[in-house]
């Protein structure tokens, strides 16, 4: 693959990144604000506008689009609205990146509707599946005696599994498959010149998904799960608390005293700096 | 009564317009840089956040959790966070755990599931309030500088700074595109159930169609942005250590920052003390 490839230029990659980030960020900002409407237990959530990064990943460099989507979601809908959930966001970041990237790599010719449809569906499915697995694990770890609470494990499996199929069939088809099928042929050949690029063709596309890329994605998937598991099972790291449980009271008193001393010293410092500033 | 309900829904819908959203987001980003939280050193605040984002997950001590919750609630008030963000927070917490609670009952659970779920709710609330304090309270520029100091990729801090600037423009453009679609469109009448569904489908269709011009426009804009960045040598500057140092030189830890840290520490240790005494 010595031939010049689509979006291989560094600054063009940055363009794709900026484009995906702002568009998908805007869209996720809205989904965060649109109230979810429920019919009985069935939740018709407008889960995401994932079609935006999917389209851009199919038309341009998949990795830049995938990273842009993940960053856009993180910044617009999480940090801007103060919904940043710490650990949980890492998982979302990785799943969105992998889902969009795989979808983008699947398509070699954006005019092939069949392939575009499959890619959109697969990308959404991957993202949702990983999210579901992680969600179940999270609830399992966050609640002590998970198994002991009557009805809780089943209800978690049920709600999560239901949400998965609901999202895949409802949002997946309505908000990912159809818009992608509609917009990709429309944008193809029009949006690329605006950014100074050549449209992706069979020849200029990145090489077909080989076993190597597949393996790479699997490894990334494993890393996502492992990192999430590590983050959740940090409990073991903190369980050393039990070792000094007997002297916990003394420890707490020591902590209070240390804090008080530090507070007094700092107050003193503050006074003196204020005086200095006044003298100046 | 009906009149009242109509009025109520009208006023709610009125408030929930695009302009309102834009104002709230902007207010959240730049409107409150005179608060105590906004003036703090971002590094200190991030360390503080790291503690309150991680530790509550690993503790099952109710007294400790409630203590942490109270502390982050106070800091959220200090940060003067916009109303919309708080509203979203409350909605998010209760939709997350309240839903689970109801389903537990469906599967033959009894009152025993209340307590673990309450613990989970307090945990989630504490962590998200801490993040609201830090990420909504801090100036975006200071926040991105702070993240950069901790070695976050340059892309993240660039994205934050860029996102806050581009958002109002994008929102306005999106609104214009939507309005022009509405002007030219012919929506189906809203009578009966089937036509209501048709109307909804029409709305969704318009929403998706409107992304077509938006995508093209944003493509042009991002090209301009990147070209402007290239002229200023952005990609070179992003990797240059000297420039990074110059950029971060404005960060200074002051006594007030340490005071904040120590006060939080004092509170937490008092809470730990109480929880051991009980």
The residue extents of the domains of chain A are 10-237, 246-279
**What's the alpha-carbon Rg for chain B, to the nearest Å?**
24
Cα gap B113→A151, rounded to integer Å: 8
Contacts of A194 in chain B (CB under 8 A): 216, 219-220, 223
Measured in whole angstroms, how far is the alpha carbon of residue A91 from the centre of its chain?
6
Would you state the pLDDT for residue A63? 86
Would you state the pLDDT for residue A193? 84
For B144-162, b/e burial (b = at least 16 CB within 10 A) is bbbbbbeeeebbbbbbbbb
How close, in Å, is residue A231 to chain B by CA atoms?
Answer: 9
Contacts of B97 in chain A (CB under 8 A): none
Q: Is the predicted pLDDT of residue A44 greater than 60, yes or no?
A: no
Residues 239-258 of A with CB under 8 A from B: 248-249, 251-253, 255-256, 258
How close, in Å, is residue A101 to chain B by CA atoms?
Answer: 18
Would you state the pLDDT for residue B206? 85
Contacts of B117 in chain A (CB under 8 A): 143
CA angle B72–B77–B81, rounded 5-degree value: 105
- For B32, residues 6+ apart whose C-beta sits below 8 A from its C-beta are B38, B79, B80, B81, B82, B137
Would you state the pLDDT for residue B126? 84
Contacts of A15 in chain B (CB under 8 A): 219, 222-223, 225-226
Best of B117, B156, B178, B219 to substitute, by most chain A Cβ atoms within 10 angstroms, is B219
A23: nearest CB among B105, B215, B235: B215
Cα gap A213→B69, rounded to integer Å: 45
Nearest CA in chain B to A81: B85
Residue with the bigger pLDDT between A228 and B116: it is B116
Cα gap B162→B159, rounded to integer Å: 5
Structural contact between residues B218 and A16, judged by C-beta atoms closer than 8 angstroms: no
Cβ neighbour number for residue A150 with a 10 Å cutoff: 16
Would you state the pLDDT for residue A241? 42
Contact A84 B229 (CB under 8 A): no
How close, in Å, is residue B61 to chain A by CA atoms?
Answer: 11
Residue with the bigger pLDDT between A212 and B173: it is B173
For A225-234, b/e burial (b = at least 16 CB within 10 A) is beebeebbeb
Cα gap B55→A91, rounded to integer Å: 18
By the 10 Å C-beta count (0-12 exposed, 13-18 middle, 19+ buried), B250 is classed as exposed
Predicted TM-score (pTM) above 0.80 = no
Contact B204 A174 (CB under 8 A): yes
As a whole number, mean pLDDT of residues A46-52 equals: 72
How close, in Å, is residue A126 to chain B by CA atoms?
Answer: 23
Cβ neighbour number for residue A246 with a 10 Å cutoff: 9
Contact B100 A156 (CB under 8 A): yes
Q: Which helix (H) or strand (E) holds A42?
A: strand A42-44
Compute the count of residue pairs across chains A and B with CB atoms less than 8 Å apart. Answer: 249
Q: Is the predicted pLDDT of residue A236 greater than 60, yes or no?
A: no
Long-range CB contacts for residues B102-108, cutoff 8 Å, separation at least 24? B103/A41, B103/A155, B103/A158, B103/A159, B104/A149, B104/A151, B104/A152, B104/A155, B105/A151, B106/A151, B106/A155, B107/A151, B107/A152, B107/A154, B107/A155, B107/A158, B108/A150, B108/A151
Q: Is the predicted pLDDT of residue A39 greater than 60, yes or no?
A: no
Q: Is the predicted pLDDT of residue A142 greater than 60, yes or no?
A: no
Cα gap A105→B78, rounded to integer Å: 47
Nearest CA in chain B to A78: B135
pLDDT band at A227 (very low <50, low <70, confident <90, very high): low
**Both tokens assigned to B154:** 């340059």
Would you state the pLDDT for residue B13? 57
B60: nearest CB among A56, A144, A191: A144
Given CB atoms, is A23 within the 8 Å cutoff of chain B?
A: yes
How close, in Å, is residue A212 to chain B by CA atoms?
Answer: 27
Best of B96, B269, B275, B278 to substitute, by most chain A Cβ atoms within 10 angstroms, is B269
**CA proximity to A16, closest of A73, A71, A62:** A62
Given CB atoms, is A268 within the 8 Å cutoff of chain B?
A: no
Contacts of A25 in chain B (CB under 8 A): 163, 167
Q: Is the dihedral of CA A55, A56, A59, A63 positive or negative?
A: negative
Would you state the pLDDT for residue B2? 60
Cα gap B105→B107, rounded to integer Å: 5
pLDDT band at A1 (very low <50, low <70, confident <90, very high): very low
Quick: pLDDT tens for A90-121: 677 878 888 888 888 888 888 888 888 888 88
For B16-30, b/e burial (b = at least 16 CB within 10 A) is eeeeebbebbebbbe
Nearest CA in chain B to A262: B262
Contact B226 A11 (CB under 8 A): yes
Judged by phi (left if over 0) then psi (alpha if -120 to 50, else beta), residue A151 lies in left
Would you state the pLDDT for residue B59? 72
Q: Is the predicted pLDDT of residue A186 greater than 80, yes or no?
A: yes
Contacts of A82 in chain B (CB under 8 A): 28, 81, 85, 88-89, 128, 131-132, 135-136
Would you state the pLDDT for residue A148? 59
**What's the alpha-carbon Rg for chain A, to the nearest Å?**
25
Cβ neighbour number for residue B203 with a 10 Å cutoff: 14
As a whole number, mean pLDDT of residues A42-58 equals: 73
Per-residue pLDDT of chain B (278 residues; tens, 9 = 90+): 566 666 666 665 555 566 777 777 777 766 666 777 777 888 888 888 878 877 777 677 788 888 888 888 888 888 877 777 777 777 777 766 666 677 777 766 666 667 777 777 787 788 888 888 887 777 777 888 888 888 777 888 888 888 888 888 888 888 889 889 888 888 887 777 888 788 878 887 888 888 889 889 998 888 898 889 888 888 787 777 888 888 788 787 777 888 888 888 888 888 888 877 77
- For B16, residues 6+ apart whose C-beta sits below 8 A from its C-beta are none
ipTM of the complex: 0.71
The matching CATH number, chosen from 1.20.120.330, 1.10.1760.20, 1.20.1300.10, 1.25.40.10, for A10-237 is: 1.10.1760.20
Nearest CA in chain B to A64: B155
How close, in Å, is residue A265 to chain B by CA atoms?
Answer: 10
Residues 70-89 of A with CB under 8 A from B: 71-72, 75-76, 78-87
**Both tokens assigned to A160:** 């999560």
């Amino acid at each position: 693959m010595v031939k010049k490839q689509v979006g291989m230029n560094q600054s063009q990659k940055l363009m794709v990144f900026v484009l995906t980030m702002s568009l998908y960020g805007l869209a996720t900002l809205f989904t965060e604000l649109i109230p979810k409407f429920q019919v009985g237990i069935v939740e018709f959530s407008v889960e995401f506008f994932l079609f935006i990064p999917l389209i851009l990943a199919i038309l341009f460099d998949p990795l830049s689009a995938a990273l842009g989507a993940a960053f856009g979601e993180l910044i617009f809908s999480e940090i801007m609205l103060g919904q940043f959930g710490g650990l949980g966001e890492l998982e979302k970041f990785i799943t969105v990146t992998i889902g969009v990237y795989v979808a983008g790599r699947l398509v070699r010719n954006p005019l092939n509707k069949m392939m575009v449809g499959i890619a959109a569906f697969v990308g959404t499915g991957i993202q949702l599946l990983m999210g579901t697995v992680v969600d179940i694990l999270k609830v399992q770890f966050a609640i002590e005696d998970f198994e002991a609470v009557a009805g809780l494990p089943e209800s978690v499996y049920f709600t999560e599994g239901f949400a998965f199929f609901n999202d895949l069939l409802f949002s997946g088809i309505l908000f990912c498959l159809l818009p992608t099928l509609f917009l990709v042929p429309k944008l193809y050949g029009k949006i690329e010149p605006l950014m100074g690029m050549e449209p992706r063709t069979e020849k200029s596309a990145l090489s077909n998904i080989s076993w190597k890329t597949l393996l790479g994605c699997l490894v990334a998937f494993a890393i996502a799960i492992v990192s999430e598991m590590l983050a959740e099972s940090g409990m073991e790291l903190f369980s050393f608390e039990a070792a000094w449980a007997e002297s916990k009271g003394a420890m707490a008193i020591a902590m209070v005293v240390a804090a008080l001393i530090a507070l007094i010293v700092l107050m003193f410092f503050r006074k003196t700096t204020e005086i200095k500033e006044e003298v100046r | 009564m009906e009149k009242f309900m109509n009025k109520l829904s009208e006023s709610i819908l009125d408030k929930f317009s695009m302009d309102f959203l834009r104002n709230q987001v902007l207010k959240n980003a730049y409107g409150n840089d005179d608060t105590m939280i906004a003036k703090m050193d971002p590094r200190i605040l991030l360390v503080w956040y790291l503690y309150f984002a991680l530790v509550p997950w690993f503790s099952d001590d109710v007294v400790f959790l409630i203590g942490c919750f109270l502390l982050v609630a106070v800091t959220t008030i200090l940060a003067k966070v916009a109303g919309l963000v708080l509203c979203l927070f409350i909605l998010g917490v209760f939709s997350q755990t309240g839903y689970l609670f109801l389903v537990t009952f469906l599967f033959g659970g009894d009152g025993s599931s209340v307590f673990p779920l309450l613990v989970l709710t307090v945990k989630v609330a504490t962590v998200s309030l801490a993040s609201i304090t830090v990420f909504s309270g801090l100036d975006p520029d200071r926040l991105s500088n702070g993240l950069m100091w901790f070695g976050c990729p340059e892309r993240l801090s660039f994205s934050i700074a860029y996102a806050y600037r581009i958002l109002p423009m994008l929102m306005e453009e999106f609104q214009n595109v939507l309005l022009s679609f509405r002007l030219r469109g012919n929506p189906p009448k809203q009578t009966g159930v089937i036509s209501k569904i048709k109307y909804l489908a029409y709305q969704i269709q318009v929403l998706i169609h409107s992304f077509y011009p938006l995508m093209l426009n944003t493509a042009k804009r991002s090209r301009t942005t990147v070209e402007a960045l290239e002229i200023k040598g952005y990609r070179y500057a992003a990797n240059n250590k000297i420039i990074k140092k110059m950029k971060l030189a404005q960060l200074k830890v002051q006594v007030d920052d340490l005071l904040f840290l120590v006060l939080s520490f004092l509170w937490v240790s008092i809470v730990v003390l109480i929880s051991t005494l009980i």
